[in-house]
Amino acid sequence: MSDFGLGYEVQAIDGAARRGRLTTAHGVVNTPAFMTVGTAGTVKGLTTDQVEASGAEIILGNTYHLMLRPGAERVAALGGLHKFMNWPGPILTDSGGFQVMSLEDLRKITEEGVTFRSHLDGTPHELTPERAMEIQELLDADITMVLDECTPFPATEPVARESMERSMRWAARCREAFTRRPGYGLFGIVQGSVYPDLRRRSAEALIGIGFDGYAVGGLAVGEGQQAMFEVLEATVPHLPTDRPRYLMGVGKPADIVGAVKRGIDMFDCVLPTRSGRTGQAFTRRATLNIFNARHRDDPRPLDPDCPCPTCADYSRAYLHHLFKAKEMLGPILLTRHNLHYYQQLMAGLREAVAAGRLEDFIAAFEHQANEGDIPAL
């Protein structure tokens, strides 16, 4: 760890993929890493002990939600977000820009920042680059994200260019307002929609400002996997090799595997937790709908090769029953399983990159995914 900022070491390379080690004030994150989303200071339905048991080393909180409730100043007065939610490990906080931009009729963007009305009670608020930095420092986030304008998709090149250029001006203001201290870092966010030249210009502008890590934003918004991968192939080569790279809001297991192959180190997504709450379970062979009647009399686990507590102790039939009966234990057990699946996937990717056999790992991953679920009884 550097005297100021984060420590990052690339330990192995396989093609464009990297195996790394990110050191923060609250611990180490091995990359490629999946960050479990705890938007409002909680991973829905789980204790932090259960999140840690899944293999998670870092979680994500959200500036927008926490500034509205319970309030950043209150969290700071109570000892910071780590103590408040009983998570001792590293925390990354999103700037809140994505949530604010999605308010549409409730917000207004100016050069100064974004004014908006709370979705909770309609009260007016202003989020500027400087205030976004202040809030995330009050939360005591190990990794702070710059405030950026989330470019809508689809967008014309002129619209995407204007949005990207404003985000770069905001990024410079964030860098100026950020308090540098050991173990804490600020990530810039590359924008530019699906236009390679805008992505290149955005990356170059951010590098000129200087950040502890670089995120790729504005993807997973409906552009499709092929377009996402094309943007990564046009963007990642322009990013520094000695800093972590973060693909925001991604995603599906196949998207993560493809992005690691293209040089991405960090990911976050609500998919494993949201899917767990709605009856979807990820396994090596298939994504299951636990409501399906085929599971009603099945005594087998979701995945016989999964070591998670849900698969060790509970059957598909029991999980099916819990969801049909609308028992709260059902979403909890399925969320635990999904988080374990994601962390096992990341551990497998790290091992494959370290061993120089990523292509073999990807081939096996795709073969299993094409097999489909185990035969019904």
Whether residue 120 is predicted with pLDDT greater than 80 in this model: the reply is yes
Is residue 117 within 8 Å of 103, Cβ to Cβ? yes
What is the separation of C-alpha 325 from the centre of its chain, rounded to a whole number of angstroms?
31
Query: Whole-angstrom Cα distance, residue 132 to residue 72?
Result: 10
pLDDT tier at 102 (50, 70, 90 boundaries)? Answer: confident
Q: Which two tokens stand for residue 180?
A: 């540098």
Query: Whole-angstrom Cα distance, residue 178 to residue 175?
Result: 5
Please report the pLDDT score of residue 209 as a whole number: 98
Whether residue 152 is predicted with pLDDT greater than 90 in this model: the reply is no
Lowest mean pLDDT among 39-43, 102-106, 238-242: 102-106
- How many residues appear in the chain? 377
Query: Whole-angstrom Cα distance, residue 122 to residue 117?
Result: 5
Q: What is the DSSP letter of 190?
A: E
Mean pLDDT computed over 333-352: 98
Any long-range contacts for 74-78 (C-beta under 8 Å, 24+ apart)?
75/41, 75/138, 75/139, 76/138, 76/139, 76/140
Mean pLDDT computed over 247-270: 98
Architecture of domain 7-269: Alpha-Beta Barrel (3.20)
Is residue 308 within 8 Å of 337, Cβ to Cβ? yes
The contacts of residue 293 (CB under 8 Å, 6+ apart) are none
Give residue limits of the domains in the chain.
7-269, 278-371
Instruction: Tell whether pTM > 0.95.
Output: yes
φ/ψ region of 243 (left if φ > 0, alpha if ψ in -120 to 50, else beta) reads beta
Whether residue 16 is predicted with pLDDT greater than 90 in this model: the reply is yes
Is the dihedral angle over the CA atoms 208, 212, 214, 220 positive or is it negative?
negative
Mean pLDDT computed over 97-106: 79
Active site residues: 94, 268
Please report the pLDDT score of residue 3 as a whole number: 60
Q: How far is CA 321 from CA 40, 276, 279, in A?
A: 29, 15, 11
pLDDT tier at 99 (50, 70, 90 boundaries)? Answer: confident
Is the dihedral angle over the CA atoms 302, 305, 308, 314 positive or is it negative?
positive
Q: Which of 348, 268, 344, 350 is nearest to 55 (CA)?
A: 344
Computed over every residue of the chain, the mean pLDDT equals 96
Number of helices (H), then strands (E), belonging to the chain: the values are: 15, 16
Mean pLDDT computed over 100-119: 87
Q: How far is CA 35 from CA 77, 145, 249, in A?
A: 26, 14, 10
Pairing of strands 266-269, 280-282: unpaired
Please report the pLDDT score of residue 283 as a whole number: 98
Q: Which of 157, 244, 170 is nearest to 206 (CA)?
A: 170
Residue-wise DSSP of 301-351? -S-TT--SHHHHH--HHHHHHHHHTT-THHHHHHHHHHHHHHHHHHHHHHH
Using CA atoms of 138, 139, 145, 150 in order, give the dihedral in degrees to the nearest 10: -100
Please report the pLDDT score of residue 2 as a whole number: 56
Lowest mean pLDDT among 148-152, 214-218, 235-239, 320-324: 148-152
